[in-house]
Structure 1
């Protein structure tokens, strides 16, 4: 699992968006799950991925990332959504329930093996560069943790670049560092870096 934190605002994310009247209403961040039919979010998800990679996030791609490659990635994600793979997004939402710009996303992969039905993996947590400091990463993580617990999973794992800001986020959210693998991945600029492995035990839901 890889977390994207960056520092500049993208000029994209035009669909779905708010109309001029609703954009003047107070908004909050809402987290919800997408399904394979929610293809209207593909352009915004592509923008989010490009934003992360172009600001140095290690998300499995090298910069510059083309829009074609970003869209191709998300088409593959949507094709895999189902019982063992889920996608959650965070977006602006007005009091009237209108959805605005996409601000973050995260994926949850539940292990399908019969001897590992107790665990899952958090993957590609992304927060838009213009939405830092709003607790969006925490909201997304809390939601996937609860979703995993609802499905009987008692253990989650993830991996993130060693020494990154993301490590502080996970520690704050109660994740435990299990170790580090040197030279595990290349960053967006192509340099090798280590990967930190984290896990979290989930409380059983009554």
Structure 2
């Protein structure tokens, strides 16, 4: 029987104490082929550095919210809501880095994280949420099933995680 999933906001103070576990989560996702801005080889130390250098300052500054999903005492997944938008886009937020550890996939964690991101965006007065995903990834139909619409596809947007080729990305949005 699967353990229940608990989703909560992780404040900056707590994030600093969970960098090792979050780095391992990111590492596992990249090793499994997630197209989230990193390519192989990718070390756990690089994963930890990402949380320390990129996410922690944004969360501490209040422009980003970090959600974590815990299952059986482990961090099973995370997602980020970026609300640090330009002055002409105060109505918009961006979903970033939806991660679910390969050991915890197919349990509804990604959907639960996205549902909570949307709730948080609404509470912050946002009426539009945007995201991008590698075209054809497993996340693309998830987003579509949650009401996200495709704005367009950019060919050759990013390097593939495993091989030296360029992949397309799909830009998506949802009116909240």
Q: Structure 2 length normalisation: TM-score? A: 0.93
Corresponding position of 1:116: 89
Give the distance between the partners of 1:54 and 1:191, measured in 2 at CA: 17
Give the distance between the partners of 1:111 and 1:83, measured in 2 at CA: 8
Matched residue pairs, number? 172
Give the distance between the partners of 2:89 and 2:101, measured in 1 at CA: 33
Corresponding position of 1:194: 168
Listed as ranges, the matches of 1:56-205 within 5 Å are: 56-76=33-53, 77-81=55-59, 82-92=61-71, 100-189=73-162, 190-202=164-176
> How far off its partner does 1:114 sit?
2.2
* More off after superposition, 137-146 vs 105-114: 105-114
CA contact (8 A) 1:53 1:63 kept: yes
Look up the SS of the partner of 2:152 in the other structure. strand
Corresponding position of 1:6: none
Q: RCO greater where, 1 or 2, for CA within 8 Å and sep 6 or more?
A: 1
Look up the SS of the partner of 2:38 in the other structure. coil
Corresponding position of 1:31: 7
Compared with structure 1, are the counterparts of its residues 184 and 29 closer, same or farther at alpha carbon in structure 2 (3 Å cutoff)? same
Structure number having the greater helix percentage: 2
> How far off its partner does 1:40 sit?
2.3
> How far off its partner does 1:111 sit?
3.6
| Structure 1 unaligned residues grouped into runs of 5+ | 1-24, 94-99
> How far off its partner does 1:63 sit?
1.1
Look up the SS of the partner of 2:36 in the other structure. coil
Give the distance between the partners of 1:118 and 1:78, measured in 2 at CA: 23
CA contact (8 A) 1:53 1:64 kept: no
Map Cα deviations across residues 127-172 of structure 1 (whole Å, 9 max, x no partner): 1101111100010000010000001000000000011111111011
RMSD of Structure 2 on Structure 1 (CA): 1.5
Give the distance between the partners of 2:174 and 2:132, measured in 1 at CA: 12
Look up the SS of the partner of 2:74 in the other structure. strand
Compared with structure 1, are the counterparts of its residues 175 and 26 closer, same or farther at alpha carbon in structure 2 (3 Å cutoff)? closer
